Structure 1
């Protein structure tokens, strides 16, 4: 049982949970909540573009440097996704951390994407489908929010009852770290997390896990 960062080797045969709270997998959960059929997670923006070239009916969402590229249909904002019309649509998502993290796990017993919005549902799914199986939680970011979510999930898997307030505090700390880093960039390149933070902090909003199916060049994520 382990919590690791993006530089770690992921052993084969484990249940792997990839976490990105701010903002990839919060956005993904909102998309599935709003009726998206599935999300094809690509490791890079170019891989996402190539995938949409093969499937032009799909919406391409995500970010480069935190910002929506001009040729993407939607960015990486949970607030924008909460108002988007995606019912029945298939999406392609490409982000700097979350979707890249999914691509780092080639031989898991099960592969899941998670954020605070579905952390309890993720624990329930693992307990129901892989009880007693070794697991690894992969934090895709270096800021506090992913690690706080990983600790919360670890405690749930161990049968404890962690305090949501601690998780929310960790997410807010992570958002503050993002904001400080953003000040290094010119104003047009800064990311304003203000509209997204309430949704990133909405612990257990979603009652489903996000389970991945590994394809040759991407991972398809669906609600389960």
Structure 2
């Protein structure tokens, strides 16, 4: 098993887990909890908008530089998902890191999206379906939260008992790194994570894996109970 960043070369034929805790795959997990039936993850705003033109019944969700584009239905926010009416809806999601990371995986045996919210279910799905297959964990961000989640997931897959408190501490460290970065920006470009952070820290709230189906220019995530 290997834990790598976005710049690493991803081998073919293995299980690939793409990690984005703050906030893409926490947002996706909450959307599934709220009744969304599938999420088409696009690697860029342009691909997301093109999918929306082809599929006008889909809701467009995501961010550019952390903020909701004006023509999107929702931002990249688990809090927004938690108060939205989403039962039976299908989404198109595009983000700077998470959905881009999914698009970087050539011909995986299995492709999954994970955040702290569904990390335990993801470990169970891999153990049940691909226990003997080499696994690569991709941390899509450079801040602490994705690496903490990767370490926690690696521990679960290796049969140890990692501490949830350590994962939450890593997420909070990552949030502090984000806050320091945003503080250097003009007020209009800053991202307020205060409403989203509690969802990002809610370890194992979701008892499902988010399993990807690779398409020509995007990846479709499905909720698979575990």
TM-score range, shorter chain: over 0.9
Q: Tell me the TM-score normalized by structure 2.
A: 0.99
* Aligned residue in 2 for 1:17: 17
Q: Is the 8 A contact 1:106 1:214 kept in 2?
A: no
- Single out whichever of 113-122 and 80-89 deviates more from structure 2: 80-89
Aligned length: 224
1:73 and 2:56 correspond: no
List structure 1 runs of 4+ shifted beyond 3 angstroms: none
Give the SS at the match of 2:96.
coil
**TM superposition shift of 1:86:** 1.1
1:64 and 2:77 correspond: no
Give the SS at the match of 1:124.
helix
Aligned-partner Cα distance in 2 for 1:159–1:187: 45
Aligned-partner Cα distance in 2 for 1:14–1:106: 10
Aligned-partner Cα distance in 2 for 1:101–1:87: 27
**TM superposition shift of 1:157:** 0.2
RMSD: 0.4
1:143-182 counterparts in 2 under 5 A?
143-182=143-182
Give the SS at the match of 2:18.
strand
Q: Is the 8 A contact 1:67 1:191 kept in 2?
A: yes
Aligned-partner Cα distance in 1 for 2:31–2:101: 19
**TM superposition shift of 1:140:** 0.2
**TM superposition shift of 1:15:** 0.2
1:25-64 counterparts in 2 under 5 A?
25-64=25-64
Q: Which sections of structure 2, spanning at least 5 residues, go unmatched?
A: none
Q: Is the 8 A contact 2:11 2:106 kept in 1?
A: no
Aligned-partner Cα distance in 2 for 1:52–1:118: 27
* Aligned residue in 1 for 2:88: 88
Q: Tell me the TM-score normalized by structure 1.
A: 0.99
